[in-house]
Amino acid sequence: MKRAFVFPGQGSQTVGMGQELAAAFPVAAQVFEEVDDALGQNLTKLMYEGPMEDLTLTENTQPALMAVSVAVARVLESEGKFKLSEISEFVAGHSLGEYSALTAVGSLQLADTARLLKIRGRAMQQAVPVGVGAMAALLGMDIGPVEELVKEAAEASGDDGVCVAANDNADGQVVLSGNKEAVERAIELAKEKGVRKAMLLPVSAPFHCPLMQPAADAMVEALSSVTIAPPTVPLVANVTADQVSDPEIIRKLLVEQVTGRVRWRESVLYMGNQEIEQLVEVGTGKVLTAMVRRINKAMTGTAVQSPADIEAFLQTL
């Protein structure tokens, strides 16, 4: 069976994440310890105990989710006595999940990734004053009509009218991002056009839109001093929905990703066109697994996060 490993993004965090994994597998605990050392912060305690409001701060959420994903990947390799590259054709990650994916296949070093995501999370949080930006989910409307909708909403909002399709997640599931006024206008327009559901999301900043340019600039600087090796299997990149292995192109795409659209639906379709039959979601939650069948009914999704999940998955190989 041809498979790809995929890595979740922000929104999958929960208090207690990683605790059962670290208790069962020393290799997982070692990942968390290395991340704590790299950050000079007891992130592990925050992951295990909360409080949720601190864990949800973007600068904590991003390295925490990455740590759990990489821990699961390393446990799979340790228990299965293989490398991910030996049993997969591609890796991909949703937004910050790209950093997890690249770390899992040796393109980035764990300590570097932890520091990069701390910088990325803080820069994204600080790029736009609280209350200026917003994000919204549209359910029941595909990307084509959404692109017309956001253009109309932006034009109606004048000079402050930034409104874009930030995440093309699945058929009928698109996330908008931009100035609060323009995004609220888009919600009203969507309702007028009969969208099934349109709602503001409880996020702290408008991710993956042009308002994030200060954060993209910060990542240019942060990534410039980090070694990026060719991944052992290609990455299917968010902003291109195509495979990439060249380190310098990966560096460029990680910057573009901050302001660019997460083309997840297209990425999954691309992998399907490359005869991938199974997407294995590595880390906290089952968000990406739930999307698989909505995008490609011939593909299966498997979420691997707990010791029981790891055992069950290894038995299928």
Residues with catalytic function:
95, 208
CA distance 23 to 76: 15
Closest to 88 in 3D by CA, of 224, 222, 279, 244:
279
- 277: helix, strand or coil: coil
142 class by beta-carbon count within 10 Å (0-12 exposed, 13-18 middle, 19+ buried): middle
CA distance 148 to 164: 10
Who contacts 203 (Cβ-Cβ below 8 Å, separation ≥6)?
134, 135
DSSP string, 151-213: HHHHHHTGGG--EEEEEEEETTEEEEEEEHHHHHHHHHHHHHTT-SEEEE---SS--SSGGGH
- HSE of 193 in the Cβ direction (CA atoms, 13 Å)? 20
For 129-158, the DSSP string reads -TTTEEEEEEES--HHHHHHHHHHHHHHTG
Give the separation between CA 98 and CA 234, rounded to whole angstroms: 12
According to DSSP, residue 262 is labeled B
Distance set, CA 298 to CA 124, 279, 303 (Å): 36, 11, 17
- Starting at the earlier edge strand, list the strands of the sheet with 243-244: 243-244, 235-236, 90-93, 3-7, 278-282, 300-304
205 contacts 124 by C-beta, under 8 angstroms: yes
Q: What letter represents residue 298's amino acid? A: A
